[in-house]
Structure 1
Amino acid sequence: MLLDRSFDVSIVPHAKVTLVGEPLDVLSQFIFNEASLLDDGDFESWLQLWDEDGRYWVPRFHRQVDPFEEVSLFWEDKMLRELRVRRISNPRNWSQQPPTRTNHLVGGVSALGLDAAGRLIVRSSLNFTEWRLEQRVLAATVHHKLIPTESGGWRIYMKRVDLINCDATFASLEVFI
Protein backbone atom coordinates (compact mmCIF):
# COMPACT_ATOMS: atom_id res chain seq x y z
CA MET A 1 0.00 0.00 0.00
CA LEU A 2 2.89 2.42 0.55
CA LEU A 3 3.55 2.52 -3.17
CA ASP A 4 -0.10 3.09 -4.04
CA ARG A 5 0.26 6.06 -6.38
CA SER A 6 -3.47 6.75 -6.20
CA PHE A 7 -3.01 8.01 -2.60
CA ASP A 8 -3.69 11.75 -2.82
CA VAL A 9 -0.74 13.61 -1.28
CA SER A 10 -1.75 16.99 -2.71
CA ILE A 11 -2.18 19.82 -0.23
CA VAL A 12 -3.68 22.23 -2.76
CA PRO A 13 -7.40 22.67 -2.03
CA HIS A 14 -9.98 21.86 -4.71
CA ALA A 15 -12.74 23.66 -2.84
CA LYS A 16 -12.81 26.49 -0.34
CA VAL A 17 -14.08 26.11 3.18
CA THR A 18 -14.54 28.76 5.84
CA LEU A 19 -14.22 27.77 9.47
CA VAL A 20 -14.48 30.49 12.11
CA GLY A 21 -15.41 30.61 15.75
CA GLU A 22 -16.29 27.32 17.41
CA PRO A 23 -15.61 25.03 14.39
CA LEU A 24 -12.09 26.47 14.04
CA ASP A 25 -11.56 26.19 17.81
CA VAL A 26 -12.60 22.51 17.74
CA LEU A 27 -10.26 21.88 14.82
CA SER A 28 -7.39 23.67 16.59
CA GLN A 29 -8.00 21.62 19.74
CA PHE A 30 -7.74 18.43 17.69
CA ILE A 31 -4.33 19.53 16.34
CA PHE A 32 -3.17 20.63 19.81
CA ASN A 33 -4.35 17.34 21.32
CA GLU A 34 -2.42 15.35 18.74
CA ALA A 35 0.75 17.25 19.68
CA SER A 36 0.09 16.69 23.39
CA LEU A 37 -0.30 12.94 22.91
CA LEU A 38 3.10 12.83 21.21
CA ASP A 39 4.72 14.94 23.94
CA ASP A 40 3.19 12.73 26.63
CA GLY A 41 4.42 9.59 24.89
CA ASP A 42 0.84 8.34 24.63
CA PHE A 43 1.49 6.73 21.27
CA GLU A 44 -1.37 4.24 21.53
CA SER A 45 -3.90 7.08 21.83
CA TRP A 46 -2.10 8.92 19.04
CA LEU A 47 -2.44 5.88 16.76
CA GLN A 48 -6.20 5.93 17.41
CA LEU A 49 -6.42 9.37 15.77
CA TRP A 50 -5.49 7.91 12.40
CA ASP A 51 -7.66 6.68 9.57
CA GLU A 52 -7.01 3.06 8.59
CA ASP A 53 -5.43 4.23 5.30
CA GLY A 54 -3.62 7.23 6.81
CA ARG A 55 -0.07 8.23 5.88
CA TYR A 56 2.61 10.07 7.85
CA TRP A 57 4.99 11.93 5.53
CA VAL A 58 8.12 13.97 6.18
CA PRO A 59 9.55 15.01 2.79
CA ARG A 60 13.32 15.02 2.29
CA PHE A 61 13.31 17.92 -0.17
CA HIS A 62 11.86 21.43 -0.14
CA ARG A 63 8.56 21.50 -2.08
CA GLN A 64 8.72 17.77 -2.73
CA VAL A 65 5.74 16.79 -4.86
CA ASP A 66 5.30 13.20 -3.78
CA PRO A 67 6.96 10.36 -1.84
CA PHE A 68 7.07 8.05 -4.85
CA GLU A 69 9.73 9.62 -7.09
CA GLU A 70 12.09 10.89 -4.40
CA VAL A 71 13.22 9.55 -1.05
CA SER A 72 11.47 10.91 2.05
CA LEU A 73 12.61 11.13 5.65
CA PHE A 74 9.40 9.28 6.57
CA TRP A 75 6.59 7.79 4.50
CA GLU A 76 4.64 5.54 6.83
CA ASP A 77 1.36 3.69 6.67
CA LYS A 78 -0.48 2.13 9.60
CA MET A 79 1.86 -0.87 9.85
CA LEU A 80 5.03 1.26 9.90
CA ARG A 81 3.58 3.75 12.43
CA GLU A 82 2.63 0.87 14.73
CA LEU A 83 6.03 -0.76 14.26
CA ARG A 84 7.82 2.45 15.19
CA VAL A 85 5.60 2.90 18.25
CA ARG A 86 6.46 -0.62 19.42
CA ARG A 87 10.15 0.00 18.80
CA ILE A 88 10.45 3.36 20.56
CA SER A 89 8.22 2.18 23.42
CA ASN A 90 10.20 -0.99 24.08
CA PRO A 91 12.19 -0.58 27.33
CA ARG A 92 15.05 -2.61 25.81
CA ASN A 93 15.48 -0.25 22.86
CA TRP A 94 19.02 1.05 23.34
CA SER A 95 18.40 4.10 21.14
CA GLN A 96 15.83 5.31 23.66
CA GLN A 97 18.09 5.16 26.71
CA PRO A 98 17.35 7.72 28.02
CA PRO A 99 13.97 8.16 26.33
CA THR A 100 13.46 11.09 23.97
CA ARG A 101 11.44 13.95 25.44
CA THR A 102 9.64 16.35 23.13
CA ASN A 103 7.69 19.57 23.07
CA HIS A 104 5.49 20.53 20.13
CA LEU A 105 4.58 24.21 19.96
CA VAL A 106 1.76 24.48 17.42
CA GLY A 107 0.30 27.72 16.12
CA GLY A 108 -1.30 29.37 13.14
CA VAL A 109 -3.90 26.64 12.64
CA SER A 110 -6.00 27.39 9.57
CA ALA A 111 -8.38 25.44 7.36
CA LEU A 112 -7.22 25.79 3.76
CA GLY A 113 -10.05 23.97 2.03
CA LEU A 114 -11.11 20.54 0.82
CA ASP A 115 -9.18 18.11 -1.36
CA ALA A 116 -10.74 16.34 -4.35
CA ALA A 117 -12.29 13.69 -2.06
CA GLY A 118 -13.72 16.23 0.40
CA ARG A 119 -11.06 15.80 3.11
CA LEU A 120 -10.27 18.95 5.10
CA ILE A 121 -6.76 20.36 4.54
CA VAL A 122 -5.39 22.11 7.63
CA ARG A 123 -2.14 24.06 7.82
CA SER A 124 -0.21 24.87 11.00
CA SER A 125 3.22 26.01 12.08
CA LEU A 126 5.34 23.87 14.37
CA ASN A 127 8.35 24.43 16.57
CA PHE A 128 9.54 21.04 17.74
CA THR A 129 12.08 20.63 20.55
CA GLU A 130 13.46 17.23 21.42
CA TRP A 131 15.94 16.12 24.02
CA ARG A 132 17.85 12.88 24.22
CA LEU A 133 21.38 13.47 25.51
CA GLU A 134 21.33 16.82 23.70
CA GLN A 135 18.68 19.26 22.62
CA ARG A 136 17.54 19.72 19.03
CA VAL A 137 15.06 22.28 17.71
CA LEU A 138 13.24 21.87 14.41
CA ALA A 139 10.68 24.06 12.72
CA ALA A 140 8.11 23.01 10.16
CA THR A 141 4.94 23.73 8.29
CA VAL A 142 2.48 20.91 8.90
CA HIS A 143 -0.45 19.94 6.71
CA HIS A 144 -3.08 17.57 8.00
CA LYS A 145 -5.73 16.02 5.81
CA LEU A 146 -8.65 15.21 8.07
CA ILE A 147 -11.75 13.08 7.65
CA PRO A 148 -14.81 13.91 9.77
CA THR A 149 -16.14 11.13 11.98
CA GLU A 150 -19.79 10.33 12.66
CA SER A 151 -19.33 11.51 16.25
CA GLY A 152 -18.26 14.99 15.12
CA GLY A 153 -14.53 14.44 15.56
CA TRP A 154 -11.69 13.95 13.11
CA ARG A 155 -9.40 11.20 11.83
CA ILE A 156 -6.02 11.87 10.25
CA TYR A 157 -5.83 10.77 6.63
CA MET A 158 -2.41 12.34 6.05
CA LYS A 159 0.06 14.32 8.08
CA ARG A 160 2.78 16.06 6.08
CA VAL A 161 5.60 17.70 8.04
CA ASP A 162 7.71 20.05 5.89
CA LEU A 163 10.85 20.77 7.91
CA ILE A 164 12.41 24.10 7.01
CA ASN A 165 15.81 22.41 6.98
CA CYS A 166 14.61 19.18 5.34
CA ASP A 167 17.74 18.94 3.21
CA ALA A 168 20.12 19.12 6.18
CA THR A 169 22.08 16.16 7.49
CA PHE A 170 20.20 14.79 10.47
CA ALA A 171 21.20 12.73 13.42
CA SER A 172 18.73 9.92 13.95
CA LEU A 173 15.08 10.99 13.93
CA GLU A 174 13.48 8.50 16.31
CA VAL A 175 10.15 9.94 17.34
CA PHE A 176 7.22 11.38 15.43
CA ILE A 177 7.48 15.09 14.68
Structure 2
Amino acid sequence: MATKKKIGKVAESAKKVAPSTFERAMKKVGVTAPKAKPATNWDLHQEIEAFLFRQSEMLDAKQWAAYIDLFANDGVYWAPSLPEHEHWDGKPAIFIEDRDLMSVRMKRVLHPNAWSQQAEWATNHIVSNIAIEHVGKDGTIQVRSRFHMMEMRRDDLRHFGGIYRHTLKRTKDSFLIQLQRVDLFNAQAAYEYVLQVWV
Protein backbone atom coordinates (compact mmCIF):
# COMPACT_ATOMS: atom_id res chain seq x y z
CA MET A 1 0.00 0.00 0.00
CA ALA A 2 2.83 2.39 0.89
CA THR A 3 4.51 1.65 -2.41
CA LYS A 4 1.30 2.37 -4.34
CA LYS A 5 0.85 5.68 -2.52
CA LYS A 6 4.43 6.79 -3.16
CA ILE A 7 4.22 5.91 -6.83
CA GLY A 8 0.90 7.72 -7.08
CA LYS A 9 2.43 10.93 -5.70
CA VAL A 10 4.68 11.17 -8.73
CA ALA A 11 1.92 10.60 -11.29
CA GLU A 12 1.51 14.29 -12.03
CA SER A 13 5.25 14.61 -12.65
CA ALA A 14 4.99 11.77 -15.14
CA LYS A 15 2.36 13.68 -17.08
CA LYS A 16 4.57 16.77 -17.19
CA VAL A 17 7.45 14.88 -18.80
CA ALA A 18 5.34 12.71 -21.10
CA PRO A 19 6.55 13.19 -24.69
CA SER A 20 4.23 15.05 -27.02
CA THR A 21 5.74 14.14 -30.39
CA PHE A 22 8.07 11.36 -29.35
CA GLU A 23 5.72 8.52 -30.24
CA ARG A 24 5.37 9.73 -33.83
CA ALA A 25 9.10 10.21 -34.19
CA MET A 26 9.80 6.77 -32.76
CA LYS A 27 7.53 5.21 -35.37
CA LYS A 28 9.26 7.04 -38.18
CA VAL A 29 12.97 7.68 -37.70
CA GLY A 30 13.51 7.75 -33.97
CA VAL A 31 14.21 11.48 -33.82
CA THR A 32 12.42 13.83 -31.45
CA ALA A 33 12.61 17.59 -31.03
CA PRO A 34 12.84 19.33 -27.65
CA LYS A 35 9.51 20.37 -26.18
CA ALA A 36 10.91 23.77 -25.30
CA LYS A 37 13.97 25.88 -25.87
CA PRO A 38 16.71 24.38 -23.66
CA ALA A 39 17.83 26.46 -20.71
CA THR A 40 21.20 28.18 -21.07
CA ASN A 41 22.34 28.20 -17.44
CA TRP A 42 25.64 26.50 -18.15
CA ASP A 43 26.65 26.11 -14.50
CA LEU A 44 23.42 24.24 -13.82
CA HIS A 45 23.82 22.31 -17.05
CA GLN A 46 27.30 21.13 -16.04
CA GLU A 47 26.05 20.08 -12.60
CA ILE A 48 23.26 18.03 -14.12
CA GLU A 49 25.58 16.57 -16.73
CA ALA A 50 27.98 15.41 -13.99
CA PHE A 51 25.04 13.96 -12.03
CA LEU A 52 23.78 11.93 -15.00
CA PHE A 53 27.27 10.72 -15.82
CA ARG A 54 27.74 9.62 -12.21
CA GLN A 55 24.42 7.78 -12.30
CA SER A 56 25.46 5.79 -15.37
CA GLU A 57 28.88 5.03 -13.86
CA MET A 58 27.15 3.56 -10.80
CA LEU A 59 25.10 1.25 -13.02
CA ASP A 60 28.16 0.04 -14.92
CA ALA A 61 30.08 -0.49 -11.66
CA LYS A 62 27.08 -2.38 -10.20
CA GLN A 63 26.96 0.06 -7.29
CA TRP A 64 23.23 -0.44 -7.02
CA ALA A 65 22.78 0.70 -3.41
CA ALA A 66 24.43 4.02 -4.27
CA TYR A 67 22.34 4.18 -7.43
CA ILE A 68 19.11 3.77 -5.47
CA ASP A 69 20.25 6.50 -3.07
CA LEU A 70 20.15 8.96 -6.00
CA PHE A 71 16.35 8.73 -5.84
CA ALA A 72 14.22 10.82 -3.51
CA ASN A 73 12.17 9.00 -0.87
CA ASP A 74 9.16 9.31 -3.18
CA GLY A 75 11.24 8.79 -6.32
CA VAL A 76 10.06 6.51 -9.13
CA TYR A 77 11.87 4.73 -11.97
CA TRP A 78 9.51 4.18 -14.90
CA ALA A 79 10.13 2.54 -18.26
CA PRO A 80 6.84 2.47 -20.19
CA SER A 81 6.24 -0.22 -22.76
CA LEU A 82 5.07 2.38 -25.29
CA PRO A 83 6.25 5.98 -25.69
CA GLU A 84 2.72 7.36 -25.98
CA HIS A 85 1.88 6.35 -22.41
CA GLU A 86 1.48 9.50 -20.32
CA HIS A 87 0.93 7.68 -17.01
CA TRP A 88 1.34 4.18 -15.67
CA ASP A 89 -2.14 3.59 -14.23
CA GLY A 90 -3.52 0.48 -15.89
CA LYS A 91 -0.66 0.44 -18.42
CA PRO A 92 1.93 -2.31 -18.93
CA ALA A 93 5.45 -1.21 -18.08
CA ILE A 94 8.93 -2.65 -18.41
CA PHE A 95 9.75 -1.08 -15.03
CA ILE A 96 7.63 0.85 -12.53
CA GLU A 97 9.47 0.90 -9.22
CA ASP A 98 9.87 3.12 -6.20
CA ARG A 99 12.84 2.85 -3.85
CA ASP A 100 11.33 -0.09 -1.96
CA LEU A 101 10.83 -2.15 -5.11
CA MET A 102 14.26 -1.13 -6.40
CA SER A 103 15.78 -2.46 -3.17
CA VAL A 104 13.90 -5.74 -3.61
CA ARG A 105 15.30 -6.05 -7.14
CA MET A 106 18.83 -5.31 -5.92
CA LYS A 107 18.65 -7.98 -3.19
CA ARG A 108 17.30 -10.53 -5.64
CA VAL A 109 20.06 -9.86 -8.17
CA LEU A 110 22.76 -9.99 -5.47
CA HIS A 111 21.45 -13.21 -3.91
CA PRO A 112 24.03 -16.03 -4.14
CA ASN A 113 21.41 -18.29 -5.73
CA ALA A 114 20.59 -15.81 -8.50
CA TRP A 115 21.95 -18.11 -11.18
CA SER A 116 20.98 -15.76 -14.01
CA GLN A 117 23.64 -13.38 -12.71
CA GLN A 118 26.44 -15.93 -12.47
CA ALA A 119 27.46 -15.67 -16.10
CA GLU A 120 30.01 -13.04 -17.07
CA TRP A 121 27.88 -9.93 -17.35
CA ALA A 122 28.59 -6.24 -17.76
CA THR A 123 27.05 -3.04 -19.11
CA ASN A 124 28.41 0.13 -20.65
CA HIS A 125 26.33 3.33 -20.67
CA ILE A 126 26.74 6.48 -22.73
CA VAL A 127 24.61 9.55 -21.94
CA SER A 128 24.53 12.54 -24.30
CA ASN A 129 22.39 15.36 -25.76
CA ILE A 130 21.54 16.62 -22.27
CA ALA A 131 19.04 19.49 -22.27
CA ILE A 132 17.34 21.32 -19.40
CA GLU A 133 13.75 21.69 -20.52
CA HIS A 134 12.22 23.46 -17.54
CA VAL A 135 13.15 24.82 -14.11
CA GLY A 136 10.08 25.07 -11.89
CA LYS A 137 9.37 27.62 -9.20
CA ASP A 138 9.26 24.74 -6.73
CA GLY A 139 12.88 23.90 -7.56
CA THR A 140 12.18 20.85 -9.71
CA ILE A 141 14.14 20.56 -12.95
CA GLN A 142 13.00 18.72 -16.07
CA VAL A 143 15.89 17.22 -18.03
CA ARG A 144 15.95 15.27 -21.29
CA SER A 145 18.90 13.24 -22.58
CA ARG A 146 19.80 10.44 -24.97
CA PHE A 147 21.35 7.17 -23.85
CA HIS A 148 22.88 4.01 -25.22
CA MET A 149 23.52 0.90 -23.15
CA MET A 150 25.56 -2.07 -24.31
CA GLU A 151 25.01 -5.26 -22.32
CA MET A 152 27.40 -8.20 -22.54
CA ARG A 153 26.62 -11.65 -21.15
CA ARG A 154 29.32 -14.14 -22.05
CA ASP A 155 29.35 -14.00 -25.86
CA ASP A 156 25.92 -12.38 -26.19
CA LEU A 157 25.78 -8.66 -26.88
CA ARG A 158 22.62 -6.54 -26.69
CA HIS A 159 22.05 -2.84 -27.30
CA PHE A 160 19.42 -0.57 -25.78
CA GLY A 161 18.91 3.07 -26.65
CA GLY A 162 16.39 5.83 -26.20
CA ILE A 163 15.57 8.89 -24.15
CA TYR A 164 15.87 9.61 -20.45
CA ARG A 165 13.53 12.16 -18.91
CA HIS A 166 14.50 13.14 -15.38
CA THR A 167 12.58 15.20 -12.87
CA LEU A 168 15.24 16.34 -10.42
CA LYS A 169 14.97 18.03 -7.03
CA ARG A 170 17.78 20.28 -5.87
CA THR A 171 19.53 19.33 -2.63
CA LYS A 172 22.23 21.17 -0.71
CA ASP A 173 25.07 19.51 -2.61
CA SER A 174 23.51 17.82 -5.62
CA PHE A 175 20.15 16.50 -6.85
CA LEU A 176 17.67 13.75 -6.09
CA ILE A 177 15.59 11.98 -8.72
CA GLN A 178 11.86 12.39 -8.26
CA LEU A 179 11.07 10.63 -11.53
CA GLN A 180 13.21 8.92 -14.13
CA ARG A 181 11.30 8.01 -17.26
CA VAL A 182 13.07 5.72 -19.74
CA ASP A 183 11.67 5.58 -23.27
CA LEU A 184 13.39 2.64 -24.92
CA PHE A 185 13.78 2.93 -28.69
CA ASN A 186 13.66 -0.87 -28.95
CA ALA A 187 11.09 -1.52 -26.22
CA GLN A 188 9.00 -3.70 -28.53
CA ALA A 189 11.88 -5.87 -29.71
CA ALA A 190 12.00 -9.59 -28.91
CA TYR A 191 14.67 -10.72 -26.45
CA GLU A 192 15.83 -14.12 -25.31
CA TYR A 193 15.92 -13.04 -21.65
CA VAL A 194 14.48 -10.13 -19.71
CA LEU A 195 16.29 -7.13 -18.28
CA GLN A 196 17.51 -7.88 -14.77
CA VAL A 197 18.52 -4.38 -13.69
CA TRP A 198 17.82 -0.81 -14.67
CA VAL A 199 18.67 0.59 -18.09
Q: What TM-score do the two structures reach when normalised by structure 1? A: 0.89
- Identity rate, percent: 27
Secondary structure (helix, strand or coil) at the match of 1:2 reads: helix
From the superposition, tell whether residues 75 and 39 of structure 1 become closer, same or farther in structure 2 (CA, over 3 Å): same
CA deviations 1:80-115 (Å, max 9, x no partner) are 100111111223211101253101100011111046
Q: Is this contact kept in 1: 2:121–2:153, CA < 8 A?
A: yes
How many residues align? The count is 175
In the TM superposition, what is the alpha-carbon distance from 1:158 to its structure 2 partner?
0.8
Q: 2:157 aligns with which of 135, 138, 147?
A: 135
Q: Is this contact kept in 1: 2:139–2:170, CA < 8 A?
A: no
Q: Is this contact kept in 1: 2:163–2:183, CA < 8 A?
A: yes
Q: 2:116 aligns with which of 92, 95, 101?
A: 95
Which ranges of 4 or more aligned residues in structure 1 deviate by more than 3 Å?
A: 3-6, 114-118
Residue 26 of structure 2: aligned partner: none
Aligned-residue CA RMSD (Å): 2.2
In the TM superposition, what is the alpha-carbon distance from 1:131 to its structure 2 partner?
1.1
CA deviations 1:50-70 (Å, max 9, x no partner) are 100100001111321111121
Q: What TM-score do the two structures reach when normalised by structure 2? A: 0.80
Secondary structure (helix, strand or coil) at the match of 2:4 reads: coil
From the superposition, tell whether residues 81 and 120 of structure 1 become closer, same or farther in structure 2 (CA, over 3 Å): same
Residue 30 of structure 2: aligned partner: none
Q: Which residues of 2 match residues 17-166 of structure 1 at below 5 A?
A: 18-114=39-135, 118-133=139-154, 134-149=156-171, 151-166=172-187
Distance 2:76 2:188 in 1: 21
Q: Is this contact kept in 1: 2:18–2:86, CA < 8 A?
A: no
